[in-house]
Structure 1
Amino acid sequence: MPVIRVLNRISDAVATVAAWLFFLIGVMLVYEVASRYLFNAPTIWAEEMSRFCQVWAVFGAAAAVMRHGGLIRVTLLTDRLGPAGQRALEVLALVIIAVFCVVATYYGWNIAADSYAIGRTSATMLDLPMWWSEMVIPVGMSLLFLQCIAEILSRLMGGPLWPTHDPELEE
């Protein structure tokens, strides 16, 4: 289905950006450690910017993690069911996650919009606008919601279920 393919591509593209953000975090923190301990000249930006990148990377990658079945799941019950029961429980879980995403997007948007309206900034030397980091909630939860829809459609159309175990753990 073309809609599912587009949503999967969006999730994977955002996950690629998230991976680069994690790499950038590593570079920033290595630079900070070298500046602080080798040259006795700490930065004012590395810690806050690495935290900012981490939040965006985590929320940005959530949709791709879901797509690849990497979210934490308790499979005690589902392992005992047949494929139809597993499919039904996966769809139910996806609907619950989708509802949570809608609620989080709504309230996250309100918080970010409020910060933008009143000009709230971080309590650091960088004094960054708070809405930059708060906006990650509506953006990330919207992406996760869209991936939930793609996964629900896939399950309803007979697509593959997530694996119920990790083969690497059995070795």
Structure 2
Amino acid sequence: MLALPVKIVEGVGWVLQAIGLFAVGFMALTICYDAMMRYLFAAPTSWSLEVNSYLVVYLAVMTAADVHRRGEHIAITLWPESAGPATRRVLRVITAVVGIILCSILAWRGYLMSHDAFRYGERVSSAFGTPTWIPYAMLPIGFTTLALQFLINAFRDPKPAQDDGVPSAVL
């Protein structure tokens, strides 16, 4: 019965992650283009910094749920890995509760910010003039998805770590 909502949440996380991959490629192209225009032709773009700043926020917030689903976030694992299975389950639930609370606060505040920015027609004071509700909207979307992923992971048994001799920080 819960399989469908879980698949929907994880599907949304996967789509946001896939968009993030395209964002990284787009950032590489636009940064190279801007550098070329700046140093070869002395004519830098007026939009590259602003667009790439929003894309960095996208990468940090919108892809977090899929990263959490895969267990690829930064973690301190010394104590949890040495604990027994029951202690690990309790720690997973405590982590999920704290994560859900934090994500809920950030999602709510992000919603309020984006709603007010939309209502008052706020724009960034730049040549591009981006409506501020667009980047602000990433906060409630990303943190709501992450909170739901915390909830899913709280009740899921983690996959055993594969020891292939390569430190996980290098992967």
Q: How does 1:1-171 map to 2 (within 5 A)?
A: 1-154=3-156, 159-161=157-159, 163=161, 167-169=165-167
State the distance in 1 between where 2:159 and 2:90 align.
Answer: 10
Contact 1:105–1:138 under 8 Å retained in 2: yes
Shift of 1:77: 2.2
Shift of 1:7: 2.1
Q: SS of 1:77's equivalent?
A: helix
Identity of aligned residues (%): 23
State the distance in 1 between where 2:23 and 2:96 align.
Answer: 27
Q: Deviations over 1:105-156 (max 9, x none)?
A: 11111111111112221121112111111111111101101211221232xx
Figure out how many residues of one structure are paired with residues of the other and give that number. 167
TM-score by length of 2: 0.88
TM-score by length of 1: 0.88
State the distance in 1 between where 2:152 and 2:57 align.
Answer: 24
Shift of 1:101: 0.9
Shift of 1:24: 0.6
> Quick one: which amino acid aligns to residue 16 of structure 1?
A
Mind listing any 5+ residue stretches in structure 1 that lack a counterpart?
A: none
State the distance in 2 between where 1:79 and 1:166 align.
Answer: 17
Q: Deviations over 1:25-49 (max 9, x none)?
A: 1111011011111122111111111
Q: SS of 1:135's equivalent?
A: helix
Q: SS of 1:100's equivalent?
A: helix
* RMSD, aligned CA: 2.2
Contact 1:79–1:164 under 8 Å retained in 2: no
Contact 1:94–1:148 under 8 Å retained in 2: yes
